[in-house]
Amino acid sequence: MAALCRGRHRWKRTNCWHVLTRNLTGRYDYDLVVIGGGSGGLACSKEAAQLGLKVAVLDYVEPSVKGTKWGLGGTCVNVGCIPKKLMHQAALLGTAVKDAKKYGWQISGPVSHDWATMAEAVQNHVRSLNWGHRVQLQDKKVKYLNIKGSLLDEHTSHIKSCTVFIHIPGAIEHGLTSDDVFWLKKSPGKTLVVGASYVALECAGFLTGIGLDTTVMVRSIALRGFDQQMAGLVTDYMGSYGTRFAWKCVPKRVDKLPSGALQVTWTNTETNNEHSGTYDSVLWAVGRAPETKALGLDKLGVQLNNETGKIVVGPDESTSVPNIFAFGDIGEGRPELTPTAIKAGKLLARRLAGQSTKLMNYDNVPTTVFTPLEYGCVGLSEEEAEKRHGKDGIEIYHAFYKPLEFTVAERDASQCYIKVVCEQGEDQKILGLHFTGPNAGEVTQGFAMAFQCGATYSHLLQTVGIHPTCAEEVIKVNITKRSG
């Protein structure tokens, strides 16, 4: 995620903070300054440099409350997509070991997981990516400055986000966030995950998968913004997988006991009854907030959404102030996804270099939640489709299915499900596709391209499947919800 400015710029150092200034001639040292060395910022800076612009990237990581810090690459590389997927893979391998016995593998003795081995391997890979990004910037002649930036005028800005804590006694001093969990040297042990976002469920999923006693505390609903039927399937599977859920509960305080364990007190919002439990770790996964309030953006006229703190942007990533652009997670209403930030950053660089006028298309962006049973989707949820087109204006095709690999292993496939949301009419344009099952990301990525081509239900039926695969089940759906 990044915000950037256009013009020629000059920087100087002021008490550990760096600002960009203009010299007496009115000229600047850079054509483009990108503030934020995440996926989008790096993509934008490298693209702009390749197109002949003189570019600088400013990136500085404030340590978390627990002192965790990391290198270049942003949330995705260091405390998001990459370490999350690798730890998810560790959990999947644990399940595969259990399945292996049914397939004839002779595994003697108990199988256990060693956190330290996994963590070291994952952290070493992340560090290799940090180094790789620095090398790429150097190769493309992008100036990398490991410093902070702040917005002083229409020629520079500062973009940063931080994890959010719930403000209750003991939350900060005794809690972890996703900024910390991937960099722990020792196992977090019995863990309470507070929150039900995709980050919360993914973390809870891999913690359960490697054998840790894990509970998810949910204030209201899981996977807000996603199709809620699919969200229910995801959490149902997690429950059968071993993850505990404390629904309709709100934490009140966290106390550290003499034993070192953490006692969490919470209230059930339906009964108003108070409960407590002890854990080794409490992981707060209740979202990220942009750090824009202290930057003086309002003084420059940069319009923010007062509720979210995010920057209001136009279709071309422009803000309300000329020369200042914002894209990635910081943009109001933008998907908080690495691939969208990368693509938006590259397209912006091309426009600023005068090489293109093409805008980012934020419609039908695919994504996957890497929970124990993966959930991939592209397009509209059933709720959103009904809101836009009316209940009688959509047709929903759906099916439960059993992955072939689940059969010999005798695994439960009750939550493996496909939903195709179509617009009513002769063509039945596909509005949304939802899939829970193995390798959901791989399945969804393929169908996502069809959305860019205006895929219809007829196109789906005309497609020849690859047998035997889970993706093949998508093109076979023929039963409508309306039919019962």
Which residues are catalytically annotated?
A: 467
- How many CB atoms are closer than 10 A to CB 256? 12
- Cβ atoms of 231 and 245 closer than 8 Å: no
Rounded CA-CA distance 189/352 in Å is: 49
- Note whether 265 and 174 are within 8 A (CB): no
Count of positions (residues) in the chain: 484
State both tokens at 147: 């410093």
Tokens representing 441? 């990301």
Distance (Å, whole) CA 318 – CA 334: 13
Burial of 266 (0-12, 13-18, 19+ CB in 10 A): buried
For residue 107, count CB atoms less than 10 angstroms from its CB and return exposed for 0-12, middle for 13-18, buried for 19 or more: exposed
What whole-number distance in Å separates Cα of residue 212 and Cα of residue 181? Answer: 13
What letters, b where the CB count within 10 A reaches 16 and e where it falls short, cover 7-25?
A: bbbebeeeeeebbbeeeee
Residue type, 282: V
The DSSP output letter for 328 is: G
